[in-house]
Amino acid sequence: MSATVAAETAGRATPSLWRRLPSSPVAMVGLGIVVFWVALAIAAPVLPMPLPNAQDYKAMGHPFGSAAHWLGVDPLGRDLLSRIVWGGRTVLEIAPIAVVIAYAVGCAMGLLAGYYKGWVDAAISRASDVILSFPVVVLYVILIANIGPSPVNIVVAVVLASAPGIARIVRGLVLSLMPQEFVAAAYLRRESDLFVMLVELLPNCRGPLITDFCLRLGYTTITIGTLGFLGLGLPPPNPDWGGMVREATSMITVFPHMSLYPTIALVSLILGFNLLADGITELSQAD
């Protein structure tokens, strides 16, 4: 009899999301852009270009692209290409760290709220609502203006602003998973609350969270750029895309390339994250 039952296996294995990624052109374009920036950021120290803070006084007279400075120099004679590459390094360090920490905090909040319901849920959800009721930019400005601009503080601000949104997604998913019978089955095995939350519930939140993770990397990139532009980013002279745009805006009519190149860099990285998120959504809906 077991031979016939073996033939019963109805469905087929679907390969994991990452292996199916090549089948989505959108996701591949997004991934390509992101990988491009990551590669540049990693290779920055060995690339044959001037240091980002080195000033070339001779180039200041003619700040456009040349053999020595491919993309030209900024108002202080610093190499634009170098500053963009090193600026990308900052963004690609701060954004993932901030988002990962935001995820840890947000998932914990969402799991607790959705699992225990009652007053735990009320407390977490109301606190989240308070934070979410602020326009994001206003929230950042208030926070950074008070705690001062630094990489750590940017991470703190991003975590504080993103965790409630993540918590809300996780809470909704947990609420829809709780009535499922595999949760009751876990109780009948005498599993602890923590086990049910982390092993039975959290892995099933994966799908929507992967997409949100990519999108949130994009938002965080925007945030870092915005803070830089508002003068609340990394303290000078560190290269920072938002800061570069700000420093060059007064000369935008004379030397548009000084603000244009960092803007293109910023836009392309955000686009990369968003396309990747779109592609993943498309793949998970095709299941």
Residues engaged in binding another protein (CB under 8 A): 1-2, 4-14, 180-182, 184-185, 187-191, 200, 203-204, 206
Minimum distance from residue 14 beta carbon to another protein (Å): 8
CA-nearest of 273, 275, 271, 258 to 84 is 258
Q: Which is nearer to another protein, 126 or 189 (CB)?
A: 189
Count helices and strands (H / E) in the chain: 12, 0
Q: Which is nearer to another protein, 7 or 138 (CB)?
A: 7
Other C-beta atoms within 10 Å of 206: how many?
12
Q: Which is nearer to another protein, 188 or 254 (CB)?
A: 188
Identify which of residues 141 and 178 has a Cβ nearer to another protein in the complex.
178
Q: Which is nearer to another protein, 4 or 146 (CB)?
A: 4
> In 3-state terms, what secondary structure has residue 55?
strand
Point out which residues pair with 79 in neighbouring strands: 73
Least separation, in Å, of the C-beta of 200 and another protein?
6
Q: Provide long-range contacts, Cβ within 8 A and 24+ apart, for 236-244.
A: 237/53, 238/90, 239/52, 239/53, 239/82, 239/83, 239/84, 239/86, 239/87, 239/90, 240/87, 240/90, 241/84, 241/87, 241/88, 241/91, 241/265, 241/266, 242/266, 244/74, 244/80, 244/83, 244/84, 244/87
Amino acid at 30: G
In the complex, what is the shortest distance from the CB of residue 237 to another protein, in angstroms, rounded to a whole number? 48
CB 16 within 8 A of CB 283: no
Between 156 and 198, name the residue whose CB sits nearer to another protein: 198
Place of tokens 């208030």: 142
The distance of closest approach from Cβ of residue 106 to another protein in the complex, given in angstroms and rounded to an integer, is: 19
Give least dist CB 112 to another protein, A: 18
State the minimum distance, in angstroms, from the CB of residue 179 to another protein: 8
Smallest separation (angstroms) from another protein to the CB of 287: 9
The encoded tokens of residue 226 equal 């915005």
Residue placing its CB nearer to another protein in the complex, 5 or 46: 5
